[in-house]
């Protein structure tokens, strides 16, 4: 099924503190101001620009793992992967050519069809090639994802399995991104019928581009907008052959792994292991932490060897911000938040202040000299119990700073 977004017909204004306004000028898609290469690089460097969390939350946050990626159907403009193991394929279009408007949906589905034939190792090779070109390193898939989110070593195999399953089933998010999309919903529906074996979601995202000022002081405002998207419909065709069939059982699963039943199992597994490593008082304390953090608006992500306390980006990018990690051996540590904040356009100093101030709470603890976004060592549940009130106050302050900075950055 295809659904339409609500078109924006108004023009934005910037309201200054003195009450005066600035009216940015919309750059028409018919003007030859930009090339598709500019659009591809904009998306590669700023993946949070794409409203993926509103379309399919499992695909957010986006981690860029490819640009101009070779396939048998042609080069994919942009390729992204989420820490949950879901691939997003992006085709950029500047809508000047009517023929391109008719062909682009079929083109991106051809890319998806070819990608669904890849193995994990083939994806790994492409990701390493991308990182050599754009990051000056040869990071593979898992290490690339670690740039966005904490990943336990014990979780690596499950993420690889999820990626492999999604590749084989064609479980992708396909985004056609342009600066004036006029593709018809009928054309989308026509192409969808040609690939019933793939389980992708397709969305059209328009980037409205405005310009303010001139010369070196010129600014550009980019506003993303979902024009249309498909809704996944699960279909099953069962063929039964034979004479002596007593019963038939058909089960259709969503394939979703998150904080539902799987999360409950993860919680039970975590506390079962923790109870073997620390005393009952610290087990109860670890449970209290999860309750208190959820009351502060955080969510708990249950991993193989830990739970991670996260805050959803108030700006709606889909990025989950990692505040701290509690391992199933009773150790707690921090990290990753500064990079995550930087990725969504918020000051990394918010995290560095938290790390510095929290380190002062505990004896023989300081900021790591090598990694200023972390402590010099992990702390224990017992240590945290002694300074818990002060620690919670710092977490509340951290959350408040993130939320205020998010409003200011809009």
Give dist(CA 68, CA 147) in Å, integer: 21
Q: What is the pTM of this model?
A: 0.68
Give dist(CA 170, CA 175) in Å, integer: 14
Cβ atoms of residues 27 and 33 within 8 Å: yes
Where does residue 10 rank: exposed (0-12), middle (13-18), buried (19+ CB within 10 A)? exposed
Give dist(CA 229, CA 165) in Å, integer: 23
- Per residue, what are the HEC states of 21-82? EECCEECCCCCCCCCHHHHHHHHHHCHHHCCHHHHCHHHCCCEEEEEEECCCCCCEEEEEEC
The DSSP code for 153 is G
> What is the DSSP pairing of strand 201-212 with strand 219-230?
antiparallel
Q: What is the DSSP string of 86-145?
A: -EEEEEEE-TT-HHHHHHHHHHHHHHHHHHTT--HHHHHHHHHHHHHHHTSS---HHHHH
Give dist(CA 294, CA 365) in Å, integer: 27
Q: How many CB atoms lie within 10 A of CB 386?
A: 14
Q: How do the pLDDT tens digits run along the chain, 410 residues long?
A: 545 454 445 677 877 778 788 888 877 655 666 778 888 999 999 998 898 888 887 888 899 999 999 999 999 999 999 988 999 999 988 765 555 555 777 888 899 999 999 999 999 999 999 999 998 998 999 999 988 788 878 788 889 999 999 999 889 999 988 876 654 544 554 555 555 566 788 888 888 888 887 766 678 888 888 777 665 544 444 455 555 555 554 444 443 334 444 556 789 989 999 999 999 999 999 999 999 999 999 999 998 789 999 999 998 888 889 999 999 999 999 988 998 898 888 999 999 999 999 999 999 999 998 888 899 999 999 999 999 999 999 999 999 999 999 887 65
Give dist(CA 382, CA 408) in Å, integer: 38
């Amino acid at each position: 099924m295809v659904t339409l977004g609500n078109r924006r017909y108004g023009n934005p204004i910037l309201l200054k503190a003195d009450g005066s306004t600035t009216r940015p000028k919309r750059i028409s898609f018919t003007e030859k101001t930009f090339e598709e290469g500019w659009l591809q690089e904009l998306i590669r460097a700023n993946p949070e620009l794409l409203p993926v969390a509103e379309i399919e939350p499992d695909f957010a946050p986006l981690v860029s793992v490819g640009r101009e990626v070779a396939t048998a159907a042609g080069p994919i403009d942009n390729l992204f992967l989420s820490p949950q193991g879901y691939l997003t394929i992006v085709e950029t279009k500047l809508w000047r050519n009517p023929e391109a408007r008719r062909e682009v949906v079929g083109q991106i589905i051809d890319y998806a069809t070819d990608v669904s034939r890849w193995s994990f190792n083939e994806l790994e090779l492409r990701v390493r090639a991308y990182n050599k070109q754009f990051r000056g390193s040869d990071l593979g898939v898992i290490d690339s994802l670690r740039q966005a989110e904490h990943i336990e070593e014990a979780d690596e195999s499950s993420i690889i399995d999820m990626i492999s399953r999604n590749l084989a089933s064609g479980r992708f998010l396909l985004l056609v991104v342009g600066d004036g999309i006029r593709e018809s919903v009928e054309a989308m529906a026509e192409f969808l019928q040609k690939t019933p074996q793939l389980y992708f979601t397709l969305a059209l995202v328009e980037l409205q581009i405005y310009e303010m000022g001139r010369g070196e002081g010129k600014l550009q405002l980019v506003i993303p907008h979902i024009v249309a998207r498909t809704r996944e419909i699960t279909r099953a065709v069962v063929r039964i052959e034979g004479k002596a069939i007593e019963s038939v059982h058909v089960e259709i699963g969503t394939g979703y792994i998150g904080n539902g039943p799987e999360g409950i199992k993860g919680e039970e597994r975590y506390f079962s292991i923790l109870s073997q490593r620390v005393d009952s008082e610290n087990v109860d304390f670890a449970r209290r932490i999860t309750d208190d953090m959820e009351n502060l608006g955080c969510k708990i992500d249950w991993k193989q060897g830990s739970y991670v306390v996260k805050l959803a980006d108030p700006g709606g990018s889909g990025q989950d911000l990692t505040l701290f990690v509690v391992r199933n051996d009773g150790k707690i540590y921090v990290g990753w938040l500064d990079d995550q904040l930087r990725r969504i356009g918020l000051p990394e100093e918010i995290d560095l202040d938290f790390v510095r101030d929290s380190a002062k709470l505990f004896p023989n603890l300081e900021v790591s000299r090598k990694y200023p976004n972390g402590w010099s060592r992990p702390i224990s549940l017992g240590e945290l119990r002694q300074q818990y009130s002060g620690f919670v106050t710092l977490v509340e302050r951290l959350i408040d700073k993130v939320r205020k900075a998010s409003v200011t950055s809009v």
